[in-house]
Amino acid sequence: MPSDLSYWLISAPLKDGDPNIMLQDVQETLGPNVELASWEIPELKAGTLSSLLTLSDALPKLDSTFTSTVSKLLDTLRSLVSDDASKLAQHARVNDRPAEEYLLGGGGGFRWDKGRWGSGGKVLEVVEALTKEMNSIEATQKQKSQTYNLAKGTLTNLQRKQVGNLSQRSLLDVVKKTDLVENSEFLETLVVAVPKNLAKDWADKYERLTSLVVPRSSQQIASDNEYVLQTVTVFKKVRDEFLHKCRENKFIVRDFKWDDSALEKQNKEIAELEVEEKELWTDLLRLSRINFSEAYQILAHLKTIRLFVESVLRYGLPADYAGVIVKPEPKTAVKTLRLLTDHYKYLASASRGPSTKKAKSGAATAGADDVAGEWASVMEAEYYDFVLFEIPKVDVAFKSS
């Protein structure tokens, strides 16, 4: 059963050579409440049967890769706009319009981009061109995303140091110069984050953790919900031993050295990173919007190739068939599929391609043994008498499975 979260692309032989009559027949079959439009399938050069079979076997994997790329681009856009549905709708567009309008053409249907992909080229060459273009999109997107994520990560780490608890955060705006003993040949002031539940232990123990601790030198200079920040003055010769004893007692000695310009440098660095992150965010959003539009168009054209290849394998040449895009509604999707199946049941004996239809038991029908090798993956796909593929709907809630 195709998903009602996707548009359905179908193709079938023309009875009289007129795609418009095919579209009218499908509309009459499904009723006026089901939205659909024509889907142009170009007359490409098919090549040999063997090459088409090989391509038909490779296209599902390529389709999956292209769909994954579109999904990742959409996820990137969603992340950049912080899941804001209205903003996502502004950026997740195809040719600067909603994806549905691009596919259905406001009722005019989908048109193959002849200017970009030609109209009578070799199908293998068109697939190679589509793949090259999609690979280029992925490469540029990856590079820009890595640059942005690196800058954002650096900024986030610095900002986290500003707001963490006293055992982690920067102390440049907490400790004052007057809290420390400076320029002493023998003495050093240490800054210690003491868990609040151990504050009494600190008061009772710090003078006796080692020898050569200056009596009554501990002073509380800050506190938060978890820690109190204490200073203590010791002789430099016992510093390492004092640190070891603090660790044993779960007192956290912070690595802190006074620098007159350190706070200014830190604030300047954060400000510069904020500007850089914003610029890179803007660049990535612009690129992601362009790449999403391009990738979705490429995916639509690959789906068209799949319609072409499968139609040739089933119905043969010349390419006397056309496509239709159907927008299924969740409540009536099962009925819509049934109506399509009934409408095209006359094709059950008309298909010229290898028989891959499944019996209810799951076993392949007659003729499967002859093609099981080359068509093994195709035989696992759900089969209908008409050609059917799906392309995901794109809206603010879309997430590819």
pLDDT, tens digit (0-9, with 9 covering 90-100), for 173-208: 888 988 988 889 999 999 999 999 999 999 999 999
Say if 345 falls within a structural domain. Answer: yes
- 104 and 47 in a common domain: yes
Q: Which of 25-29, 260-264, 385-389 has the lowest mean pLDDT?
A: 260-264
The answer to whether residue 272 sits within a structural domain is no
Of the three residues 239, 257, 275, the one that is the final residue of a domain is: 257
120 plus 189 within the same structural domain = no
Same domain, 252 and 294: no
Who contacts 145 (Cβ-Cβ below 8 Å, separation ≥6)?
76, 284
Question: 223 and 136: one domain?
Answer: no
* 294 domain-assigned: yes
Over residues 357-381, mean pLDDT? 40
Query: Do 61 and 127 fall into the same domain?
Result: yes
- 219 and 325 both lie in a single domain: no
The pair phi, psi for residue 2, each rounded to 5°, is -65, 155
Least confident of 107-121, 154-168, 291-305: 154-168
List the domain range (segments joined by +) for residue 349.
Answer: 6-142+289-392
Domain count, the chain: 2
In terms of domains, do 246 and 302 share one? no
Same domain, 368 and 306: yes
Centre a 10 Å sphere on the Cβ of residue 175 and count the other Cβ atoms it contains.
19
Decide: 306 and 59 in contact? Cβ < 8 Å. Answer: yes
pLDDT at 316: 85
| pLDDT value, residue 351 | 53
| Burial state string for 248-261 with b = 16 or more CB within 10 A and e = fewer than 16 | eeebbbbebeeeee
Write down which residue in 212, 235, 257 finishes a domain: 257
Mean pLDDT of 325-340: 94
| 299 and 234, same domain (yes or no) | no
If asked whether residues 249 and 304 sit together in one domain, one would say no
398 with 88: CB under 8 angstroms? no
State how far the Cα of 200 lies from the Cα of 189, in Å rounded to an integer: 20
Question: Over 60: is that where the pLDDT of 355 sits?
Answer: no
- Does the model's pTM come out above 0.85? no
Does 399 reside within a domain? no
Residue 190 lies in a domain: yes
User: Who's near 313: CB < 8 A, 6+ residues apart?
Assistant: 49, 52, 53, 56, 352, 353, 354
CATH number for the domain harbouring residue 312: 1.20.1460.10
**HSE toward the beta carbon, residue 210, CA cutoff 13 A:** 20
- In this prediction, residue 225 carries a pLDDT of 92
Of residues 399 and 243, more confidently modeled = 243
- Residue among 69, 45, 20, 124 nearest 299 (CA): 69
Q: Is 273 a member of any domain?
A: no
pLDDT at 381: 57
Average pLDDT over the chain, rounded to an integer: 87
Predicted local confidence at residue 269, as pLDDT: 86
401 domain-assigned? no
d(CA 218, CA 376): 77
What is the CATH number for 194? 3.30.70.100
Q: Is 65 buried (19+), middle (13-18) or exposed (0-12) by CB count in 10 A?
A: middle
Mean pLDDT within 209-222: 95
Residues 94 and 186 in one domain: no
Structural domain contains residue 164: no
Residue 276's pLDDT band, with cuts at 50, 70 and 90, is: very high
Using pLDDT thresholds of 50, 70 and 90, give the confidence band for residue 391: very high
- For residues 108 and 144, the model is more confident at 144
Whether 53 and 181 map to the same domain: the answer is: no
Q: Examine the pLDDT at 95 and tell me if it is beyond 60.
A: yes
Core vs surface per residue 197-208: b (16+ CB within 10 A) or e: ebeeebeeebee
pLDDT value for 396: 56
